[in-house]
A and B are shown apart, each in its own frame.
Chain A
C-alpha cells in the first residue's frame, strides 16, 4: 500500500507498540521478525520498527504475562523464538480497544504562542497564520493526491489526517478573523 507519512506520523506512531503487537498475535503465534514485518506493513508507514523495539517490547510483554513463549523455530535469522498471546494479553487488547484516546490539541499551543508573540512584538500575526495555512493546505493537497491514487486503507488513513488538518485550518481562519480583537487584548 502507498503509505502517507506527512501528518500521519505524528498521529499514528505514538500508538502503543505493545498493544499493536499483542493485537497482531491474536491471529496466532509468531516470531519477532514476523511480527516486525506485519507491524511495518500495516502501521509502520515510513517509519518502520527497529528490531530492538520489537524485542524489548516482547520481553516486557513476557514479563507482564501478556505473552508466552511458544517454542523455537528452526531456521536462519537472529531470533526464531515464537510468541503467543495469553488470556491476560487478550483482555489487555480488549481494554485498549475500548478505551478512547485522549483528544490531543496537536498544534494549537505552539500556534497560539506564535500569534501572541507576533502581536506582542509588533509583527504581523496574519502573516504567521497565512504561512501556516499555506503549509497546512500544501500537506492536505499531498494527502489528497495520495488518497486519490491509493487503495481503501490509504484513503482511510489520509482522511484521518485530512480531517485533523482541516480542524487546524478552521482554527487558523477563525483566529485570522479575530486577530484585531486579540491584538487589543494582548497589548492592553
Chain B
C-alpha cells in the first residue's frame, strides 16, 4: 500500500516545463532519494508531492485522499499534521530560541507551552543538540541549526518528512551527521523520508532512489 502516490504530474513556470509527466510512489517508512541534475525538476516534484505547489495536471494521493483535489485550507492542515519539512537553510524563526522553534508546530496545533517545550527538549536531545536549546538560530553552527530543523520536522510525529537538499549548506562531516540522525530518527518513528539531493553520498542513506531527468522521473532499482 502506497503512502503517497503521484501520477502524470506536469508543471510549467512560464515557458519552462519543470515537470512533464513525472510520477512517484512512496511507501510508509521508506527513505527515498530523489536525484537528478540541477533544473531537472526534482524540487518541483517534491513541492507538488507535499502540496506546496499545485501541479498543472496529474494527481497526488496521500493514502486514499486526493491531495490535488483539496482546497488550500485542507492542504495546509495536512502539511501541518502529517508532514514535516527540512530545507537547505533559512527555515528557523530567528527571533525564537531553538527550543521555541522546535516547540512551534506543537504550539500552533494548540498544545500547552509546557508540554510542547518538554517534547521539543526531548527531540533536541535525540538530535544531540540539547546544548543549544536556549540559543537563537543565529548563534548556532550550520550543522547544529540543521539538527534543530530536523527536530522541528519530527516533533509532530509526521508520516512523511520532505527534505530538500538538507545538507546542501554543510561540510561533509556535518552533512553526514545530519543524514545519519535524520534517517535513524525517521526509521525509529516509522516516518517516510522524501529526500531531494544531488549528492550521491547523501543519497546513500536512502533505501532506494528515483532519478528525475527533464521533468520525468524514473525508478532506478538495482537487484543483486
The answer to whether A133 and B37 touch (CB under 8 A), given A140-B204, A162-B201, A169-B200, is: no
Q: What are the interface flags for B207-221 relative to A under an 8 Å C-beta threshold, 1 for contact and 0 otherwise?
A: 101010100001011
Cβ < 8 Å to B, chain A residues 118-177:
130-131, 133-138, 140-141, 143-144, 148, 162-163, 165-166, 169-170, 173, 176-177
Task: Give the residues in chain B near A143, CB-CB below 8 Å.
Answer: 204
Q: Is the CB of A130 within 8 A of B200?
A: no
Q: Which of B200, B205, B206, B207 has the most CB of A within 10 A?
A: B200
User: Is B13 engaged at the interface, CB distance under 8 Å to the other chain?
Assistant: no
Q: Is the CB of A130 within 8 A of B218?
A: yes
Task: Give the residues in chain B near A134, CB-CB below 8 Å.
Answer: 209, 220-222
Report the separation of the CA atoms of residues A76 and B32 in the bound assembly, to the nearest whole angstrom.
56
Taking a contact as CB atoms closer than 8 A, the residue among A136, A141, A166 that contacts B206 in the complex is: A141
Taking a contact as CB atoms closer than 8 A, the residue among A130, A141, A148, A177 that contacts B37 in the complex is: A177
User: Is B180 engaged at the interface, CB distance under 8 Å to the other chain?
Assistant: yes
Task: Give the residues in chain A near B204, CB-CB below 8 Å.
Answer: 137, 140-141, 143-144, 162
User: Is B65 engaged at the interface, CB distance under 8 Å to the other chain?
Assistant: no
Task: Give the residues in chain A near B213, CB-CB below 8 Å.
Answer: 176
Report the separation of the CA atoms of residues A101 and B209 in the bound assembly, to the nearest whole angstrom.
34
Cβ < 8 Å to A, chain B residues 189-212:
199-201, 203-207, 209, 211
Q: Is the CB of B180 within 8 A of A148?
A: yes
Q: Is the CB of A165 within 8 A of B205?
A: no
Q: Is the CB of A166 within 8 A of B200?
A: yes
Report the separation of the CA atoms of residues A150 and B213 in the bound assembly, to the nearest whole angstrom.
35
Q: Which of B211, B213, B222 has the most CB of A within 10 A?
A: B222
Cβ < 8 Å to A, chain B residues 15-44:
37
Q: Is the CB of A133 within 8 A of B220?
A: yes
Taking a contact as CB atoms closer than 8 A, the residue among B200, B206, B211 that contacts A170 in the complex is: B200
CB closest residue in chain B, given A132: B222
User: Is B224 engaged at the interface, CB distance under 8 Å to the other chain?
Assistant: yes
Task: Give the residues in chain A near B180, CB-CB below 8 Å.
Answer: 148
Task: Give the residues in chain A near B203, CB-CB below 8 Å.
Answer: 137, 140
CB closest residue in chain A, given B173: A159
In the assembled complex, how far is the CB of residue B194 from the closest CB belonging to chain A, in whole angstroms?
Answer: 17
CB closest residue in chain A, given B179: A144
Report the separation of the CA atoms of residues A136 and B211 in the bound assembly, to the nearest whole angstrom.
14
Q: Is the CB of B211 within 8 A of A140?
A: no
Q: Is the CB of B220 within 8 A of A130?
A: yes
Report the separation of the CA atoms of residues A131 and B222 in the bound assembly, to the nearest whole angstrom.
7
Q: Is the CB of A165 within 8 A of B200?
A: yes
Q: Is the CB of B200 within 8 A of A137?
A: yes
CB closest residue in chain A, given B222: A134
Q: Is the CB of A130 within 8 A of B211?
A: yes
Task: Give the residues in chain B near A165, CB-CB below 8 Å.
Answer: 200
Cβ < 8 Å to B, chain A residues 47-92:
none
Taking a contact as CB atoms closer than 8 A, the residue among B200, B206, B211, B222 that contacts A135 in the complex is: B222
Q: What are the interface flags for B166-185 relative to A under an 8 Å C-beta threshold, 1 for contact and 0 otherwise?
A: 00000000000000100000
Q: What are the interface flags for A28-64 relative to B under an 8 Å C-beta threshold, 1 for contact and 0 otherwise?
A: 0000000000000000000000000000000000000
Task: Give the residues in chain A near B211, CB-CB below 8 Å.
Answer: 130, 133
Task: Give the residues in chain B near A163, CB-CB below 8 Å.
Answer: 201
B-to-A contact residues, CB < 8 Å: 37, 180, 199-201, 203-207, 209, 211, 213, 218, 220-222, 224
A-to-B contact residues, CB < 8 Å: 130-131, 133-138, 140-141, 143-144, 148, 162-163, 165-166, 169-170, 173, 176-177
Instruction: List 9 A–B pairs whose Cβ atoms lie within 8 Å, in order of A's numbering.
Output: A131-B222, A134-B221, A140-B204, A144-B205, A162-B204, A163-B201, A165-B200, A170-B200, A176-B213
Given contacts A133-B211, A134-B221, A144-B201, 6 further A-B contacts (CB under 8 A): A130-B218, A134-B209, A137-B209, A138-B222, A140-B203, A162-B204
